[in-house]
Amino acid sequence: MSREQRGPNEKLGTVLALAGISNAGLARRVNDLGSQRGLTLRYDKTSVARWVSKGMVPQGAAPHLIAAAIGAKLGRPVPLHEIGLADADPAPEVGLAFPRDVSAAVRSATELYRLDLAGRRAGSGGIWQSLAGSFAVSAYATPASRWLITPADSSVARDSTATSPGEPASDATPLRVGHADVAKLREAAEDARRWDSKYGGGDWRSSMVPECLRVDAAPLLLGSYSDDVGRSLFGATSELTRLAGWMAFDTGQQEAAQRYYIQALRLARAAADVPLGGYVLASMSLQATYRGFADEGVDLAQAALERNRGLATARTMSFFRLVEARAHAKAGDAQAAGAALRAAEGWLERAREGDPDPSWLGFYSYDRFAADAAECYRDLKAPRQVRRFTEQALSRPTEEFVRSHGLRLVVSAVAELESGNLDAACAAGTRAVEVAGRISSARTTEYVRDLLHRLEPYGDEPRVAELRERARPLLVAPA
C-alpha cells in the first residue's frame, strides 16, 4: 500500500529508464529484496506505475528497497532524493557517511549505535531486517580515499558544553572522560573478541557489542576529553565498532557490517591509529571478496598496505598481505596471489617476540596464515597445495578459535574431495558439522552448505547421505 499521493514522480521514472528496469522488473526485485529481509511484499507492475505516474509513496522499507534494487542494476548507491522519495524514513541510510569533521563523525557513529538497539528492542531484529539494500561495495570508495588522503585528524579534543552545529543543547551535567573510561571499553573489546572466536558472531554474548556501543561508548564520545584521551577513546571505540561489523558479517548481516566498518574506519582516523585503520580496511576487503567483488577487495587491502609501510609491525604487514592474497585468489590471479602469499610469509618470518603488535592481532599466527593460504589455493583449484596448508592449519586445534577450526575442516574436506578421497572428505565434513553445531555463524554454515553441494554427485553413497543427515539440523536452523 502507498501512504500518500502527489504529482507524477518524474525522478523515479527517469532513473528507471536509465537503469533499464521495467515496472514489472522493479516490482519483482523489490519483492525479492524484501523476502531476503523477512518481509512479505506483493508489489506488481501496477504498483510501480502508481509510484511513477501518480507519485504515490510506498510504506515502510519499500522506498529503500526500491533504491537498493535500482542501485544494484546501476552498480552504485542510489540516494532517496535521486528517485523522488526523500520524504521516506532516512534511518536505513545511517552509517554510510564518512564525515571530514570530527564532530560530525561523532554524530554519525552515535546515531548508528542508537538506531541499531532501538530496532532490536522494538522486536524487529534491528533496522537491518528492513534495511535497504544490499551490500554496495561502491559505498567503500569515499571512506577509503578520504582515509588514504588524511589518515589522522589534527585534533580531537572536545568540550561537550560547547554545542556544535547540528547538535541540540543539553542541560545534562557534562561527562568528563578519562583513561579509566577508555580502559573499560578496551576490556569489553578483548572479551568480545574471545567470545566471537569461540562461539561465533551470532552468540548472545557477542551480540552485546552493539549494546556496549550504545550504552557505554556513545555517551563517552559525546562527553568532554583532552586530545590525548580522545585519541585513545576513538581507538577503543573503533575496535568495538569493527568487531560489531565483523560479527554482523559472520552472521550474514552484510548491510549492517558495511555501516559498522565505515564508522570504525572514521573513528580510527580520529584516533590517528593508522594500523587500526588498515585493519578495518582489511576487514572491508575480506567482506568485499566474500561478496564477489574481488577487484575491490584487492584495492582495499592494498590501501591498508600503502599507508602502513614503515609504521605497522611485521606481523601486521603479513596479515595485510595475506588479505590481499585472498582477494587475488578469488579473482583467479594465481601469480599475484602467490606473490602476496610469499610476501605475507616473509613478513611473518621477520616477526619477533617483543614486537609491539596491537592487541587486536592476537589471533594471527602461522596456523592462521596456513588456513588462509589453503583457502587461496582452494579458489585457485590447486588441491595439493590446499591439503598441504590445511594439514599445517589443523596441526594445532584449539578451543580458543572454534569457528576458525570448523572453517578449516570444511576446506580440508573440499581438498580431500577434489583429490578423490571421498572417505576422508566425509570424515572431515562430519567433524566440521559437529563444530558448526556448537557455534552461531552463518558463514560457517555457508561453508558446510558449499561442501554438501560439491558432494551432490556422490549423493547415493551412504557416507554422503549420512553426512547430509547430520548437517540437516544446522541447515534448517534460523540464521
Q: What is the pLDDT of residues 262-300, one digit of tens each?
A: 999 999 999 999 999 999 999 999 999 999 999 999 999
CB within 8 A of 182, min separation 6: which ones? Answer: 220, 229, 232, 233, 236
Q: Per the domain annotation, does 372 fall within a domain? A: no
**Rounded distance between C-alpha atoms, residue 284 and residue 300, angstroms:** 7
Q: Per the domain annotation, does 280 fall within a domain? A: no
- Beta partners for 186? none
Q: Per the domain annotation, does 469 fall within a domain? A: yes
At 292-351, the pLDDT tens digits run 999 999 999 999 999 999 999 999 999 999 999 999 999 999 999 999 999 999 999 999
Mean per-residue pLDDT for 5-18?
Answer: 87
**Rounded distance between C-alpha atoms, residue 325 and residue 332, angstroms:** 10
Q: Per the domain annotation, does 416 fall within a domain? A: yes
CB within 8 A of 388, min separation 6: which ones? Answer: none
CB within 8 A of 332, min separation 6: which ones? Answer: 379, 380
The domain boundary, picked from 89, 115, 140, lies at: 89
How many distinct structural domains can be found in the chain? 2
Handedness of CA 452, 456, 457, 461 (dihedral sign): positive
Q: pLDDT band at 123, cuts 50/70/90? A: very low
Reported as type and span, the H/E element at residue 131 is none
> Parallel, antiparallel, or unpaired: how do β-strands 2-4 and 57-58 relate?
antiparallel
- pTM (2 decimals)? 0.80
Q: pLDDT band at 1, cuts 50/70/90? A: very low
Q: Per the domain annotation, does 59 fall within a domain? A: yes
**Rounded distance between C-alpha atoms, residue 386 and residue 314, angstroms:** 25
Tell me phi and psi for residue 58, to 5 degrees: -70, 160
The domain boundary, picked from 61, 89, 117, lies at: 89
**Rounded distance between C-alpha atoms, residue 428 and residue 471, angstroms:** 13
Q: Per the domain annotation, does 79 fall within a domain? A: yes
Look at the block and give the residue holding cell 563517552.
220
Q: Which three cell numbers stand for residue 387?
A: 591439503
3-class DSSP state for residue 231?
helix
Mean per-residue pLDDT for 25-30?
Answer: 92
3-class DSSP state for residue 225?
strand
Structural domain boundaries enclosing 62: 2-89
CATH number, domain of 6, equals 1.10.260
**Rounded distance between C-alpha atoms, residue 63 and residue 67, angstroms:** 6
Mean per-residue pLDDT for 398-414?
Answer: 85
At 162-218, the pLDDT tens digits run 655 545 444 456 689 999 999 999 999 998 888 877 777 665 455 689 989 999 999
Q: Per the domain annotation, does 49 fall within a domain? A: yes
Q: pLDDT band at 64, cuts 50/70/90? A: confident
**Rounded distance between C-alpha atoms, residue 92 and residue 130, angstroms:** 8
Q: Per the domain annotation, does 68 fall within a domain? A: yes
The domain boundary, picked from 65, 89, 113, lies at: 89
User: What pLDDT was estimated at residue 394?
Assistant: 87
Q: pLDDT band at 115, cuts 50/70/90? A: confident
Contact (Cβ atoms closer than 8 angstroms) between residue 140 and residue 284: yes
